[in-house]
Amino acid sequence: MIEQDIKKYELEITANCNAECPLCARTEMGMPLRGNKELTLANIKHIFSTRESCDGKEFKLCGVLGDPIINNECFEICEYISERGGRINLSTNGGYQNAEWWTKLAKLENLYVDFSVDGFKNTNHIYRVNVNWSTLERNMRAYMSAGGKANWVFIPFDHNEDDYEDAKKLANELGMRFIRRTSGRNEFNKNRKHKP
């Protein structure tokens, strides 16, 4: 396969995170929240050195072990890809960075965010351990009010089922598409207890 045939890349730009989700591979392996490996802007520029390497291609910045917004150069990486015609899907728990950062991110072309928010004010932190609701809501509001495009991706667990309608209502108020997603994290671990 040659580069021009590749239509989509999935990049994990950091193995660092602000959350300790109980079923995350990083948490289960006992990796620390910080001090893990990251891709730098220089790495991205080296790998995708030409406009053709980005133009018309989709870049999914996700986290198997980390959250991309923890990478200190996340915005610059997104900006670099966007300026070269790449489309970016950024998956995040949304509980990091400040409102100004999110406002700036919303201005990038061809970028949308999947906010992984599994509950509402009193339940999101049960699975998304360490994610502060007020920080998360502030960030979502800043991003959306600046013209950002986003999905609210909701994984149902026993502890958050009652928050489904409230979450969907806030997503609609913010102008986000609401997606209920079944995940192996809840299907294969139904008997696993979460912290209250």
CATH number assigned to the domain comprising residue 139: 3.20.20.70
Say what percent of the chain tops pLDDT 90: 72
DSSP 8-state class, residue 97: S
Which of 146-150, 156-160, 180-184 is the least confident region? 180-184
Assigned domain for 196 exists: no
What is the mean pLDDT of the segment spanning 104-128?
Answer: 95
Q: What share of the chain is helix, strand, coil (3-state, %, to 5)?
A: 35, 15, 45
Q: What are the Cα distances from residue 107, in Å, to 52, 63, 95, 143?
A: 22, 23, 19, 9
pTM of the full structure:
0.89
User: Which domain range does residue 165 map to?
Assistant: 3-185
Q: Which residues of 86-102 are buried (b: 16+ CB within 10 A; e: fewer)?
A: bbbbbbbbbbbbeeebb
CA 196/CA 182 separation, integer angstroms: 21
Confidence of residue 189 (pLDDT cuts 50, 70, 90): very low
CA 144/CA 139 separation, integer angstroms: 9
What is the mean pLDDT of the segment spanning 93-97?
Answer: 97
Assigned domain for 75 exists: yes
Which of 66-75, 136-145, 157-166 is the least confident region? 157-166
Mean pLDDT, the chain, rounded, equals: 90
What is the mean pLDDT of the segment spanning 73-101?
Answer: 98
Assigned domain for 190 exists: no
CA 190/CA 127 separation, integer angstroms: 13
Higher pLDDT, 10 or 63: 10
Number of domains in the chain: 1
